[in-house]
Amino acid sequence: MTINKHDVAAELESSVETIEAYLEDEPGIADRYKDAFQRLPKEWSSEEIRAALRDTSYPGAYPTDEFDQIDSIVVPHTESDAWDNHEEVNEWARDILRDVPVMAVDGSQLPPTTEFNVPLAYVQAAWSVNYHHTEGRLDRGVEGRLLTPDEVTRESDDGDYRFVDSQLVGHHRFEHEGGLLIDQIVELAEARESDDIEHTPVVFYDGPLIASFANPLKPETRERYISTLSRVIAASQHHRIPLVGYVAGSNATELVKMTRLLLREEFGTDRVIPDAHVLTDLMSPWGDTTIPFISKRDGSIDALQTTYEGKSYEFRDDILFTYLNVPPGAGLDRIEFPGWLCQSDGPDGYDSMYEYTVEIVRAEAGIGRGYPEILQQADSDAVLDHQDRQQFHRIVQRWAESNDVPVEWNAKALSKELRRR
């Protein structure tokens, strides 16, 4: 049966006030935070902010040294002021990206088979490198991995039986993507060292580098995510390949939380709202960013530490972020990156590797009409659909028959399969 459109429409109509309340801020609160954001660099130094927040474990954010050199936390992209159409965006972006390799990895998964008497799953990750050569060069690849029953089942608390846990597939997929991302970082570094590429590559990670999403998970599961991210970030720093975690339509609140703590008398009883709700009105329509800030969101950042290539790395105070306004779409996108980008000289024409990286990200998002084109490419290559799932089932069946392995359909799944033929 198909979805009952009339029922859904009626439910939406009856819930309109609840949905609108979720989307709207309290009257005037965004304007008051906007005023505070504008006052911060005029009334505070970075040292004074750190001192005021010293007794708070996770105050949202710390300013970088750049905070003491600016009058506004918003960095305008003045080149875009004269643009009238998207073709002008494309022309600018193509010039910025010419001969700059950008790389991204994305993944997909097939859930454990419930149709058979044995649970099997599959994860795959796709990588894509666009070299932005005039004549065109796009290198791509896909790597998949079969998950066996012991990898998609877990033991019950009393130890009496094992059961399928579909969440385990997502954990394996995350690790698989991270491993492939590191492999590609290494290859790009080797290509640069052998002069196969002229310009510094930029690597896109589809999602945050701050693993707050893993905090509610069991300690051993949380550690899997933290460990994977730690190694990816360490690989970026070790090989000096810029890495950005790209979060589209961010609802993060670090700057608002920091401001609320600094100005307790003004905001002590107000609720925290997303940074983007405040910053949007401070930015021009295209390309503006904020200055970088150090994230002090929660303990997931403190846990980012690892050993890579025999060297210890820890990123407690070394994961930074900025916001980027690249329409269309409401809200702002967020870029997370390791601190070494701000501490390293950039290529010719750029003061730092951070400035270079942000410009490349901005151009990629421009070409992609609001979302980096390289991430779109990796996502397109990685996706697994219903046809892939059916093909996976057929491969499992043929393998079982060829090897005389007693893999069988369960009665319910077989009935569905026969009805759909």
Alpha carbons 323 and 320: distance in angstroms, whole number: 11
Long-range contacts of 403-411 (CB under 8 A, 24+ apart): 406/117, 407/116, 407/117, 407/118, 408/116, 408/117, 409/115, 409/116, 409/117, 410/114, 410/115, 410/116, 410/117
- Torsion 249-251-252-256 (CA) sign: positive
Q: What is the pLDDT along the chain (421 residues), one digit of tens a residue?
A: 556 656 666 666 666 656 555 455 566 899 999 999 999 999 999 999 999 999 999 999 999 999 999 999 999 999 998 888 889 999 999 999 999 999 999 999 999 988 888 899 999 999 999 999 998 899 999 999 999 999 999 887 777 778 888 899 999 999 999 999 999 999 999 999 999 999 999 999 999 999 999 999 999 999 999 999 999 999 999 999 999 999 999 999 999 999 999 999 999 878 899 999 999 999 998 999 999 999 999 999 999 999 999 999 999 999 999 999 998 766 799 999 999 999 999 999 999 999 999 999 999 999 999 999 999 999 999 999 989 988 988 898 888 888 887 887 654 443 444 344 4
User: Cis before residue 112, ω within 30 degrees of 0?
Assistant: no
The token duo for 188 is: 């790009």
* Residue type at 197 in one-letter notation: I
- Three-class secondary structure of residue 137 per DSSP: coil
